[in-house]
Amino acid sequence: MLDNNQKLETNVFNSVVGFKEAVLKKTEMESKGSTFVEEKGLVRQTIHRLHPKRLKLRVEKIRIDTLSTKTLVLCSVDGKKLPPFQSGQYINLFVSLAGVLTARPYSISSSSKNLDSYELTIKRAEGGFVSPYLLDEVEVGNEFESTGPMGSFHHNPLFHGMDLVFLAGGSGIAPAMSMLKSFLASTDPVRFHIIYSNSFENDVIFIDELRALAKTNSHFILTEFLSREVSPEYQGYHGRLNVDTLKTLLPNAPSEMYYVCGPTPFNEHCAELLSNLGVKSGRILIESNGPPNKPENLEGWPKSVLPSLEVNIKVGNHNSFKAKAGEPLLNSLERNGYFTENACRSGECSLCRVKLKTGEVFSPEEAKIRKSDKKFGWIHSCVAFPVTDVEIQL
């Protein structure tokens, strides 16, 4: 006989997907005298299938979104379903260019309900190394290696609730589109408001699709902002996001959950605006799109150091090389033939950690360096800028 506590515990576990089936299978195997040796390794195989370290992907389709943006539709090389992901997550796409092995994280813009393909919406980065190649040279049939889906930037219904606001800047709309498609395909009572800011009217990603979905779904709201010139037909807001406008758009601001994704200055601006509206930091989830483009404009950058300053990088007992202070350390390492595991390239995942033995680096706030790392000299190379000669250990 089960006591009350055991009955309560059983009822709780019964609500877990797969629990009842697992208990029935265990009971059946025990009745046949199994020692469960045939189950050895199945858990590891399941984990690898759901969370693989590497994927082999093939470009099945290329869609032109705007003058500066394309979407690559990627399927598994073996034709199987791709691993599941949470809308808002990214994969890290590995690319070999001019003898340099590098990678870039791209948010998946397709619905998490569709595992036949991942869609990566890629915008040309000014002075970029990888995006021009992906936009100008990649063709249908090309194959790539990537990580599995990663990242903590996604909706958690238990903690985030169902009243959600997404502030997107430019290509930061990619994870928002994935969330939107997933919400619309579910029965959850999600109220989703996308506040979408762009510079130029003819370069707004997904705008026709977003407007159409806003017209046909009462629980989805789209608010548009343009900072540059607009046509007479444009019906959104003109200018940058500001406190007064957000007060009008978000009358219950402190009670909603916020997702923010765009360039670093946009993210910082949105965080400040939301704070001024009384939104607590725990209700703001920010996804950075890589390292800051102009680190010299951030608080803490040594004023006497120009981003063009050339410094000396020594890697352990290996040869030294020259790098610019304004370039992320990870980028300069890759250009000179050194590889270290990486994923987010924005300071969150910590996979690219290296040990700083001598010298100084500038690490912006987004680096999220842990106390233990600071104590023992570990830095996140993807957002570490060498402002003096340095010696590191991979």
The reply to whether 58 and 131 lie within a common domain is yes
The reply to whether 223 and 194 lie within a common domain is yes
The predicted pLDDT at position 12 comes to 55
The torsion defined by the Cα of 210, 215, 220 and 226, in degrees rounded to 10, comes to 50
Which residues are 208's β-sheet partners?
none
The predicted pLDDT at position 19 comes to 76
Domain with residue 260: its CATH number is 3.40.50.80
The reply to whether 166 and 265 lie within a common domain is yes
Show the tokens assigned to 332.
Answer: 């300069």
Residues 6+ apart with CB under 8 A from 67: 202, 203
H helices of 217-261, in order, are 243-249
Are 237 and 224 contacting, i.e. CB atoms less than 8 angstroms apart? yes
Distance CA 7, CA 25 (A): 20
In a domain, 13, yes or no: no
The reply to whether 308 and 371 lie within a common domain is yes
The predicted pLDDT at position 141 comes to 97
- The type of residue at 392 is I
Which residues are 120's β-sheet partners?
72, 108
In a domain, 275, yes or no: yes
The predicted pLDDT at position 129 comes to 86
Helix orientation angle between 4-14 and 19-31, rounded to the nearest 10 degrees: 110
Residues 6+ apart with CB under 8 A from 273: 241, 242, 243, 246
| pLDDT tens, N- to C-terminus, the chain (394 residues) | 445 555 545 555 666 667 787 788 888 878 877 776 766 656 555 555 556 778 999 999 999 999 999 999 999 999 999 999 999 999 999 999 888 889 999 999 999 999 999 999 999 988 788 999 999 999 999 999 999 999 999 999 889 999 999 999 999 999 999 999 999 999 989 999 999 999 999 999 999 999 999 999 999 999 999 999 999 999 999 999 999 999 999 999 999 999 999 988 899 999 999 999 999 999 999 997 778 888 998 889 999 999 999 999 999 887 899 999 999 999 999 989 898 888 888 888 888 999 999 999 999 887 888 888 888 999 999 999 999 999 999 8
Asked which of 222, 254, 287 is the last residue of a domain, the reply is 287
Domain with residue 131: its CATH number is 2.40.30.10
Distance CA 324, CA 314 (A): 14
CA atoms in the 13 A half-sphere facing the CB of 233:
2
In a domain, 26, yes or no: no
Q: Which run of H or of E encompasses 209? A: helix 207-216
Distance CA 48, CA 327 (A): 35
Are 176 and 259 contacting, i.e. CB atoms less than 8 angstroms apart? yes
The reply to whether 92 and 171 lie within a common domain is no
The torsion defined by the Cα of 375, 376, 377 and 380, in degrees rounded to 10, comes to -90
Residues 6+ apart with CB under 8 A from 193: 164, 165, 166, 220, 221, 222, 223, 249, 250
Residues 6+ apart with CB under 8 A from 30: none
- Backbone phi, then psi, for 176, in 5-degree steps? -65, -40
The reply to whether 174 and 71 lie within a common domain is no
Q: Which run of H or of E encompasses 70? A: strand 69-76
Dihedral sign of CA atoms 137, 326, 357, 315 in order: positive
In a domain, 11, yes or no: no
The reply to whether 131 and 161 lie within a common domain is no
Q: What is the pTM of this model?
A: 0.81
Show the tokens assigned to 350.
Answer: 């910590």
The 3-state DSSP class for residue 351 equals coil
In a domain, 15, yes or no: no
CA atoms in the 13 A half-sphere facing the CB of 376:
9
The predicted pLDDT at position 234 comes to 93
Domain with residue 383: its CATH number is 3.10.20.30
Show the tokens assigned to 101.
Answer: 């092995």
Are 384 and 364 contacting, i.e. CB atoms less than 8 angstroms apart? no
Provide the residue range defining the domain that includes 274: 157-287
